[in-house]
Chain A
Amino acid sequence: EVQLVESGGGLVQPGGSLRLSCAASGFSFSSYSMNWIRQAPGKGLEWVAYIHSSSNFIYYAASVRGRFTISRDNAKNSLFLQMNSLRDEDTAVYHCARDHTYDVDYWGQGTLVTVSS
């Protein structure tokens, strides 16, 4: 069974940093590209970042480019999102999601990031 479990969310002040993690199991993690997708409270879905299975290709949404960094450790079946210079509008539940060739097929339950003073 595919499982994706996020951690690392919490309350942070504007301008602060957080590092999210996603532990993957139930599939060959190193064979799949991965995404981070967020959903602000009561709002829609927003794609944040993509990383190829080998980390050779990485893409970011314009809203986070230059502030967020996606990475992975295939030996540890783990995905990461380093978030710097956080803003109020980054408040959301952040999901890691397995790539399915330009869409996603499995989602984690998500971890809540709240940016507030």
Chain B
Amino acid sequence: DAMVIQNPRYQVTQFGKPVTLSCSQTLNHNVMYWYQQKSSQAPKLLFHYYDKDFNNEADTPDNFQSRRPNTSFCFLDIRSPGLGDAAMYLCATSRVSGGNQPQHFGDGTRLSIL
């Protein structure tokens, strides 16, 4: 089945130690998104890639970076995680082509900071 896959599902890192979360998709969608979700709050968009074009949300901390080496993969890098970065990180994809299309989400990576 075509899907959005996030690895790992659970990640534990130390305060200040860089961590990378990964997302892959088999949907061949041209847009990939990274969200941060805390507790039961609404997902908060961090940034997205429209093909190779990177788009950062204005309030996304510089501590968060992203890479998209090809259509299928996208990575979220947190350079120096703080305690406040503990959250669920969701990857999503969509196909932007002449009409509204829903975003399809992976199951997320839950990040814990020690």
Same complex: no
